[in-house]
Amino acid sequence: MTEIHLYDTKSKRKQRLDPVTPGRVNMYVCGPTVYDRAHLGNARAVVSFDVLYRLLRHVYGADAVTYVRNFTDVDDKINARAAESGRPIRDITEETIGWYLSDMAALGALEPDRMPRATESIGEMIAMIEELIAKGHAYVAEGHVLFSVSSDPDYGSLSHREVKDMIAGARVEVAPYKRDAMDFVLWKPSDADTPGWDSPWGRGRPGWHIECSAMSKAAFGDRFDIHGGGNDLMFPHHENEAAQSRCANGAEMASIWMHNGMLQVEGAKMSKSLGNFFTVRDLLDRGVPGEVARMVLLGTHYRAPLDWTERSVEEAETVLRKWHTRTDGAPVGEVPEGVIAALADDLNTAGAIAVLHGESDPARLKAGAQMLGLLDEGMGGWVGQPVVSEEIADRIEALIAARAEARAAKDFVRADAIRDGFAAAGVVVKDTGGGAEWELTPEFDAVKLEGLG
């Protein structure tokens, strides 16, 4: 059997995956808080762990792998959205879950085996909180239940932070009922306008961190194999999860903690204030196929920062067009050994793609690409039509204008160079009485437009 080695955030090293239950792998990945559309950063985590899921199923067998990803459907952001819109919370969460599943499917992501919702797991959360109180790791104060960070000597071991440094460097809300500034909420009271459930501490709702501890335990028991998410969740969310579960269950909850790196857009942090914030739906509506977006997300190692650029989209489109052309009508062969070896080495998707670039057998190319969630049935419908982004359209229009200027100046060398560049890139330009019109051939390659004009 193929040995899989994954980088563990806690130990800061790659380690061999040795399942808690031999021959069976359990993986839990933190899912979305369902109040709005998923953005590109959310998509990166989904696609990364989807490839890991595919690898695990290939190595261990589909029936021996269980992938759980939750929905957080009780949260103050959801409450605020309901108050702003006047819509019932349930309507908002149901709609957002539907959006999420549709958008992730457009990226070629398989649905996890289980997708528990926080609101369906309140009983498990209350039971875990009671266990933490009984063991002296949590306390009740003014209708709240708080985890006592000082009661866990291993707190900070996941994110490699010292508690004293966290207190000094963090903006922590120090409520009067807290014994310590770093203590965090497990349960909080709800008013008449806020969702709530009956509990031993009064009507209230759970804190965010307890949700995943309770849901993962309900799915897998005290300990499981892989816990994943974006590295923005490492602290405080995963640190707090680890502490709660360790103290309640007497065991570390996960053997391996995996965190994917963050995403930038054209070299800048993705931000609404910078105008470079995109949801998955934004991209799909702009004409970027889900398969192309997936290829971009897989082109950088999952732990490294990823820079989403217009050029990376164009390059991914070009490669996928070639692969679809080469494999059209081919059967699905054996997955190349180099692809499995790359993925088994800490999910090296970029390395796997490099192997596929050198694969001469169309059947093996198709099989290897499908291991990455590419060239799957139903994903190639976009190939018959070139993808035309606003940037590409603007570039072509600017080159047509430059060609016209060159002609007017009798600079025929420059004009002919642009004409030949259009032909090489797969851009057909027709001069009409109303001006130049253009269209793209299926062989369009946006990269070849660079340097023209």
DSSP 312: H
Q: Are 283 and 308 in contact (CB under 8 A)?
A: no
Cα–Cα distance list, 209 to 159, 184, 212, 233 (Å): 15, 9, 6, 10
- Could you read off the pLDDT tens digit of each residue along the chain, which spans 453 residues? 899 999 999 999 999 999 999 999 999 999 999 999 999 999 999 999 999 999 999 999 999 999 999 999 999 899 999 988 989 999 999 999 999 999 999 999 999 999 999 999 999 999 999 999 999 999 999 999 999 999 999 999 999 998 776 664 455 557 888 999 899 999 999 998 899 999 999 999 999 999 999 999 999 999 999 999 999 999 999 999 999 999 999 999 999 999 999 999 988 888 777 778 889 999 998 889 999 999 999 999 999 999 999 899 999 999 999 999 999 999 999 999 999 999 999 999 999 999 999 999 999 999 999 999 999 988 888 887 666 666 788 888 889 988 888 888 988 888 888 888 888 888 888 887 777 888 777 678 887 888 776
Query: In this structure, are residues 219 and 114 in contact, taking their beta carbons and an 8 Å threshold?
Result: yes
How much of the chain is helix, strand and coil, in % rounded to 5?
45, 20, 35
How far apart CA 125 and CA 207 sit, in angstroms, is 10
CATH architecture of the domain covering 5-260: 3-Layer(aba) Sandwich (3.40)
Angle at 184 between CA 179 and CA 190, to 5 degrees: 105
Residues whose CB falls within 8 Å of the CB of residue 3, separated by 6 or more in sequence, listed in order: 16, 17, 344
Strands 65-69 and 25-29: parallel
Task: Please count the other Cβ atoms lying within 10 Å of the Cβ belonging to residue 252.
Answer: 17
Cα gap 448→453, rounded to integer Å: 12
Could you give the CA distance from residue 249 to residue 223 in angstroms, rounded to a whole number? 9
| Block residue for tokens 């009983």 | 123
Rounded distance between C-alpha atoms, residue 69 and residue 72, angstroms: 10
Instruction: Pull the structure tokens for residue 220.
Output: 């897998």
Question: Any idea which residue has 């490294």 for tokens?
Answer: 304
Say if CB 434 and CB 451 are below 8 A apart: no
pTM of the full structure = 0.85
How far is it, in rounded angstroms, from Cα 50 to Cα 108? 9
Task: Domain ranges for the chain, please list them.
Answer: 5-260, 287-384, 390-449
Name the helix (H) or strand (E) containing 306: strand 306-308
